[in-house]
Amino acid sequence: MKEFDTPGASGLIMEEPLLFAKAKTGRSGFSLPSRDVPRAELPPEAETRRPDLPDLSELEVVRHYTRLSQWNFGVDSGVYPLGSCTMKYNPKINEKLAALPGLAGAHPLLPEAMSQGALRLMFELQELLAEITGLDGVTLQPAAGAQGEYAGMRIFYAYHQKQGQTRRKVLIPDTAHGTNPASAALCGFQAIPIPSNAQGILAAESVAELMDTDTAGIMVTNPNTLGLFEENIGDIAQIVHDQGGLVYCDGANFNALMGIADMGRAGIDVLHLNLHKTFSAPHGGGGPGSGPVCVHKELQPFLPLPWIVKNEQGYTLVHEAPDSIGRLHAFYGNFGVMIKAYCYILSMGPLLKQASQCAVLNANYIKEALKEAFHLPYDRLCMHECVFTDQYQQEAGVSTLDIAKRLIDLGFHPPTIYFPLVVQGAMMIEPTESETKEDIDSLIRAFLQIAREACEAPDELHKAPLKTKRKRLDETLAARSPCLTG
């Protein structure tokens, strides 16, 4: 392997003490203006409540946070193939436009007459998402995908109550996202698991066996967490509808379907999207997110309040509706994420379909390149991500965790590991459409190198990573006995 074939290398690794260890009394990184009010002494008891802040110069503060930023790995640093999270590149034009003073500085308590631009942007984003998904009504309010799921289950509950029914169960496949059963349980439903078939998808017959008039509906992740399209979704929807139930689709993986799948024609009644995955703004970093919910027209009256409507005077908010599930939280949602998604959709236009096609192509390219070196539990056309296991490497005592840690040495963020749970020792790789063929080839070579090392020097893989600032941590100890005092 030639030099710099993979981006991992031994370089300048800086240590950085805590700010309190660097501080020296009397140092200051700022200057206060002259007082324009008389000096006032604090009462004695206030001295005990004074914040214990370190005294630092401006240069020390700048260097400290710059060094900390260099310890992080993000999608702007290199390939970030985190499956199920869609760490696609976020175009900088989206960030620039979201930072415009009139948008970034808009206060949520401003009257509607002074918020027409923001209301118009959100209204048009709702219209765009309805067109892209093939559904009729949209709310932008959910703050992330999980809250979108919760809103969808609230709509399920409200719909059946309106029909004079109290249904107690929701069907959830074993290939659904892990938050699905939790969202159902939060709304009072019992989650009924359905096993996937030998092809890694849901069989219509399995749904028919469990679907009854006590079941509110089904939650299907499509594409599912194996990266496979639920090709029986039309038949499944018909079975559920015949029993008076509703079909919820977890659309967190919609990055594979933009411009390709019409969710309305597929029989979907409720769909949530992750703007922070599918429509730029990568998933990671702890948020904020945005999880809009799209619904069939029959369910529009149940959408959360307030609603944005357009009339002759402009755009306004409707705060009362008899069948609405009510408010999800204060104000309207995470506006900054909406701006970036709006910019992404308008700048891409019809190319959204090509983005999904490239995401699917890249994942299948990786699948074909690695399936001889790593066990592929479902050797069939995948969507935007593919799932391998450590089965071939286990003979040498090498695990999925060893493979992931070694990837760090070679300059790549590891894929999602040990998920989905239906696959033992899973490695879930999602390259997204953002990566070039050259970078994907580099990732493939790194995986193949690790496969060779697992045969030739398995004990060395147990020590990985070796080139990072911190070596392998005891993650079990950290989870069970966390140190919370610093």
In the prediction, which pLDDT does 150 show? 97
- State in Å, rounded, how far the first CA of the chain is from the last one: 42
- CA neighbours within 13 Å on the CB side: how many for 458? 13
Neighbour tally for 128: CB within 10 Å: 17
- pLDDT of 342-366, one tens digit each? 999 999 999 999 999 999 999 999 9
For the ranges 70-84, 277-291, 312-326, 385-399, the lowest mean pLDDT is seen at: 277-291
Q: Write the pLDDT tens digit of every residue in 190-205.
A: 999 999 999 999 999 9
What value does the mean pLDDT take over residues 149-162? Answer: 98
Which value, in Å, is the radius of gyration of the alpha carbons in the chain? Answer: 26
Confidence (pTM): 0.90
Dump pLDDT digits (tens) for 130-155. Answer: 999 999 999 999 999 999 999 999 99
Supply 128's token pair. Answer: 């765009």
Can you tell me the mean pLDDT for 313-340? 94
Nearest C-alpha neighbor of 426 from the set 83, 151, 73, 36: 83
Domain ranges of the chain: 94-348, 351-473
- 351-473 sits in which CATH class? alpha beta
Percent of the chain with pLDDT over 70: 96
Same fold for the pair 94-348 and 351-473: no
Residue 314 backbone phi and psi in degrees, to 5: 130, -135
Q: What value does the mean pLDDT of the chain take?
A: 93
What is the per-residue pLDDT across 87-106, written as a single tens digit (0 to 9) for each?
999 899 999 999 999 999 99
CATH 3.30.2080.10 correct for 94-348: no
Q: 190-194 and 293-295: which strand pairing?
A: unpaired
DSSP per-residue codes, 203-272 = -HHHHHHH--TTEEEEEEESS-TTS---TTHHHHHHHHHHTT-EEEEEETTGGGTTTT--TTTTT-SEEE
Length in residues, the chain: 486
pLDDT at 448 over 80: yes
pLDDT at 75: 86
The reported pLDDT for the residue numbered 1 is 46
Q: What percent of the chain has pLDDT over 90?
A: 79
| Mean pLDDT for the stretch of residues 278-299 | 87
Q: Which residue has the tokens 């979201």?
A: 98
Is the predicted pLDDT of residue 11 greater than 60, yes or no?
no
Return the higher-pLDDT residue of 14 and 27: 27
Residue 430 pLDDT greater than 90, yes or no? yes
484 pLDDT band (50/70/90 cuts)?
confident
Regarding beta strands 270-273 and 293-295, do their DSSP bridges make them parallel or antiparallel, or are they unpaired?
Answer: antiparallel
pLDDT in tens, 404-426: 999 999 999 999 999 999 999 99
Q: Is the pLDDT of residue 486 over 60?
A: no
Q: What is the mean pLDDT of residues 259-272?
A: 97
